[in-house]
Amino acid sequence: MADIKPVRKAVFPVAGLGTRFLPATKSVPKEMLTIVDKPVIQYAVEEARAAGIEHFVFVTGRNKAVIEDHFDIQVELEHTLRQRGKQDALDLLASSLPLAGQTSFTRQQSPLGLGHAVWCARDIIGDEPFALLLPDMVMQDRKGCLSSMVELYNETGGNIIATEEVAWEETHKYGVVETGNNVEGGFEITNMVEKPEPGSAPSNLFINGRYILQPEIFDILSGHEKGAGGEIQITDAMIKLAKSQKFYGFRFAGRTFDCGSREGFITANVAIAMTQEDLNGNLRVELKRILAEVLPEQDYQIAG
């Protein structure tokens, strides 16, 4: 389809307080907590870059300046590494940096919800489709979730939502979608429901924190209509946009870690560490030792 505009920009909402990680997040943004050796936010940025994103838009809040510093050159550190001949470390730092002019930062002064955070990026995004990545949701797969979504978008246009299967009894905790006809690489979305009542979900596919949206979403968000929790919800705006534009779903077959929760954050650390050859051998031994110490013998046999 020749009239499909490319997805060049991505929005990262990073203004949240991270209260579930206090006292750590009293002075360190939750997005800068590390999974193995990289901060949470870097996983999302790398996923976006691999998908062809050229401009990275961070919606920040107070006490988030360290995120801006992280995606900048650290002159003193690089000077010291260069003096010590640490070329591998210098190359690693360089590979993690966006190019000059590829990052923008805007403020969400009040915590009015995800929809409001997205709306705060409207002037930077302009009249273009854009990706939206929730940094708390860290994806693990051989191919990046957003890369597959961009491939689907290039075939269908419209709006794309990444989905993932969840147990039916858990659907009431999430935003879920209703599926329509299949298309190459995905399916049509006929409805979206935010946290449906138990037993009433239209499917067991939940929205897992990756989106490609058309700029008309900003017109809807500009009404600042509040939804669940008294906040401006992106799902509510998408439901309205779906009345005039197509929405498609992508089934993500990898694994998503909700690093906004302590359990998900710890699990992500273990799972990602186990993919690294310099860690997984000793770590496997230590995990078995810990399990043997804390679990009854019969449970450990099952876990092992």
If you write DSSP's letter for every residue of 6-57 in order, what string do you get?
A: P--EEEEE-----GGGTTGGGTS-GGGSEETTEEHHHHHHHHHHHTT--EEE
The first and second tokens of residue 217, run together, are 């979403």
The pLDDT, as a whole number, for residue 169 is 87
Residue 301, class by beta-carbon neighbours within 10 Å (0-12 exposed, 13-18 middle, 19+ buried)? Answer: exposed
Asked whether residue 2 carries a pLDDT value surpassing 60, the answer given is: no
Q: Is pLDDT at 162 greater than 70 in this prediction?
A: yes
Let me know how many helices (H) and strands (E) the chain has, helices first. Answer: 12, 13
Q: What's the average model confidence in pLDDT over 56-71?
A: 90
pLDDT at residue number 245: 94
Query: What average pLDDT does range 67-79 have in this prediction?
Result: 89
CA distance 280 to 178: 39
Which of these, 189, 220, 231, lies nearest to 207 by C-alpha position?
189
- The CATH superfamily assigned to 9-273 is Spore Coat Polysaccharide Biosynthesis Protein SpsA; Chain A (3.90.550.10)
For 88-110, b where at least 16 C-beta lie within 10 A, e where not — what string? Answer: eeeeeeeeeebeeeebbbbebee
Q: Where are the domains of the chain?
A: 9-273
More confident residue, 288 or 134: 134
Q: What is the pLDDT of residues 202-239, one digit of tens each?
A: 999 999 999 999 999 999 999 888 777 778 889 999 99
The CA-CA-CA angle for residues 137, 62, 207, to 5°, reads 20
The pTM of this model reads 0.91
Q: Which residues contact 50 (CB under 8 A, 6 or more apart)?
A: 144, 146, 147
Q: How large a percentage of the chain has pLDDT more than 90?
A: 57
The string of pLDDT tens digits covering residues 178-196 is 999 999 889 999 998 888 8
**pLDDT of residue 100 exceeding 80:** yes
Q: Which carries the bigger pLDDT value, residue 58 or residue 74?
A: 58
Phi, then psi, of 74 in degrees rounded to 5: -105, 95
Confidence of residue 124 (pLDDT cuts 50, 70, 90): very high
* 300 pLDDT above the threshold of 60: no
pLDDT at 301: 57
pLDDT greater than 90 at residue 92: no
Residues 139/46, Cβ–Cβ less than 8 Å: no
Spatial neighbors of 17 by CB under 8 A, at least 6 apart, are 25, 30, 61, 111
pLDDT band at 303 (very low <50, low <70, confident <90, very high): low
What proportion of the chain, given as a percentage, has pLDDT over 70?
A: 96
Distances (CA, A) of 14 to 52, 132, 147, 149, 252: 21, 12, 21, 22, 23
Specify the range with the lowest mean pLDDT, choosing from 123-127, 238-242, 297-301. 297-301
Tell me which residue of 130, 109, 108 sits closest to 117, measured CA to CA: 108
Residue 51 has pLDDT above 70, yes or no: yes
Token output for 19: 């209260």
Of the two residues 288 and 38, the one the predictor is more confident about is 38
* Interatomic CA distance for residues 105 and 279, integer angstroms: 35
